[in-house]
Structure 1
Amino acid sequence: KTNLPLEKISLLLLRRRTGGKIISGIKTKPHSHPYMTHLEIITDKGYVANCGGFLISQEFVLTAAHCKGRALSVCVAKESTWQKLDVKEQIIHPEYSFSTSLNDIMLLKLPYLPHPLHSPCLRPSTFILPGRMCRVAGCGGTTVTESVLMDDKSCNHFLFYSRNLHICVDNPRKRRSAFSNPQGNSGGPLLCAGVAQGIVSYGHTDAKPPGIVTRIFPYVL
């Protein structure tokens, strides 16, 4: 595992700039979200865990830093099947904190993928207004959950919530959140009109809304 300076992470993310466990999600057709990946993780303690992530280039996956592990493999879509690849390098944000979940963002370097790339646009907005409908994709792209962007006060009860680094997500009228903390397929993207605005980070352990998404914008400028 490698910690790189913030500016190097930004440069890696900018290459594509032009271009929790999902709960109550809607199942989608296989490979309808070919940029989605499924992470299989061997944790530092030897347990097996899973996360989501998404391709941003033909050799990099963007995911959450809490999905790090002793060893990782990534399943990516290849035509009508899946291809399993061992992660060559885990590039964790140097200021990621497990205790606060701040800077919960990580790049995974893969062997170069020769087949055509399908990835969401990485031109996130500085701030997107509450009330906007977006989507959270998880489980390797097999489920999609519609989510509402909430105002900051809806997430102020989270001790380390930061409006500069986080997006408050979900609809309080729903009984269950789009994702829960800390297991499953967190690490997947929050997509607003096809643009990746965030990465699923954490929520309440009982899966009640709202939940927290790491805002991508601060890391690509």
Structure 2
Amino acid sequence: MTKLTPELLLQAYAGGVFPMAESRDDPEVFWVDPDKRGVLPLDGFHISRSLRKAILKEDYQVTLNRDFAGVVRACADREETWINDTIFDLYAELHRIGFAHSLEVWDDDTLIGGTYGVALAGAFFGESMFSRRTNGSKIALAYLVDHLREAGFVLCDTQFLTDHLASLGGVEISRKDYRERLTKALNVPADFTQPSLPAASTLIQRSTQTS
């Protein structure tokens, strides 16, 4: 297999494919190009009554790119994971050069939820998420979707559609439809580092207006 580099990884994302490993201990990495693709519409994120209550409680803090490595390690901290050492190192390098980003949810100095992915023009390729407290990953996704929309992104790729993502508004589309959306997104300028994250009340207000 051709040696994986950050540059090759970005080319793959631009072409609609992404890497995975069979397990944490398997050193090999393979490319995935699903027939059906999961996406999270940036104008259709569903905030349930219980999630709304959890967000407005504000017993947490949300940050961008504060602990990228910590988020990836937390995402891999499960019995079965596709994140091996090769993938961890590649995404750490993508983060270093400004293409991979994380969003963290904290309880003081303890990570309780988060998500990470790759940003390329107006497309964000969500890689994984984790939760160490009830609603941790849902709060992370609510802030992520709002942030992507405000930062100019037009596509949020979730790779596959899980029941969890479907409950939040995620949908499944064909490979052809995905490629068309990706092509358009790659011609849209966006910046993950801007703007700053909103207050909880602003997040809820904007989500209500767009959903």
| Richer in strand (by share) | 1
Q: Fold-level match, TM-score > 0.5?
A: no
TM-score by structure 1 length? 0.26
